[in-house]
Amino acid sequence: MRFKALIFDCDGTLVDSERVGNQVIVESVRDLGLDLSLEEALEAFTGRKMTDTLGIIQARLGHPLPKDYLHTLRAQMAEAFKTRLNAMDGVHELLKTLKVPICVASNGPHEKMQVSLGVTGLLDYFEDRIFSAYECDSWKPEPGLFLFAAERLGIDPAHCAVIEDSPLGVEAALRAGMTAFGYAPRGDGTRLRLGTTTIFHHMDDLASLLC
């Protein structure tokens, strides 16, 4: 393999949580009077930190969100993840074959990743190599999270590859001086075509691209 470490995004890359999580958002804002389709939610919120997501929702509503909205939303998401979440197709098979250090780097908090990776049986692949933007106070598209992950792994950023499903994540990887692979399981990946990013559509295809 031409890379010394692989950094995986979590939501939408390892676990099929973007659709589940955004469906919960759609249902929750409907109760507040905002009609939003799942596709609109995916377009607006995929890859964003929660603070920005809440800001967009509030702007569209035209009034402040209830004080307990975030707490309630996270509880609803956690419950949905426990019952509806799956690993992305081919992820288990891919991770079993990798011979270089791997980690997860997500805009989401550790608590969320522990649930999603645990429910899908992926937690043991990563052990203590799970990094959150909340640890380093840097959210994608800023490069800080990926640089933090590389430092913790002890690998030069130039020798790291990042696997991402969102434009914000791809931008962060490129800004960190890393090689980006854009994962587009449900489309042509047009939104991920930034710089030298390589697009792929199934985890079965990634192993050969890493060589």
Integer angstrom CA distances of residue 106 from 30, 31, 74: 27, 28, 16
Task: List the catalytic residue out of 9, 11, 16, 165.
Answer: 9
Residue appearing with tokens 């640890």:
135
89 given a catalytic annotation:
no
Distance CA 122, CA 136 (A): 23
- Among 180, 184, 174, smallest CA distance to 162 is for 180
- Among 168, 189, 158, 138, smallest CA distance to 45 is for 168
Contact residues for 91 (Cβ-Cβ < 8 A; gap 6+): 14, 15, 122, 203
Q: What does the DSSP 8-state code read for residue 65?
A: P
Phi, psi of 135 (to 5 degrees): -75, -40
Partners of residue 160 on adjacent β-strands: 5
- Among 88, 48, 55, smallest CA distance to 70 is for 55
| Other CB atoms within 10 Å distance of the CB of residue 39 | 11
Q: Which residues are catalytic?
A: 9
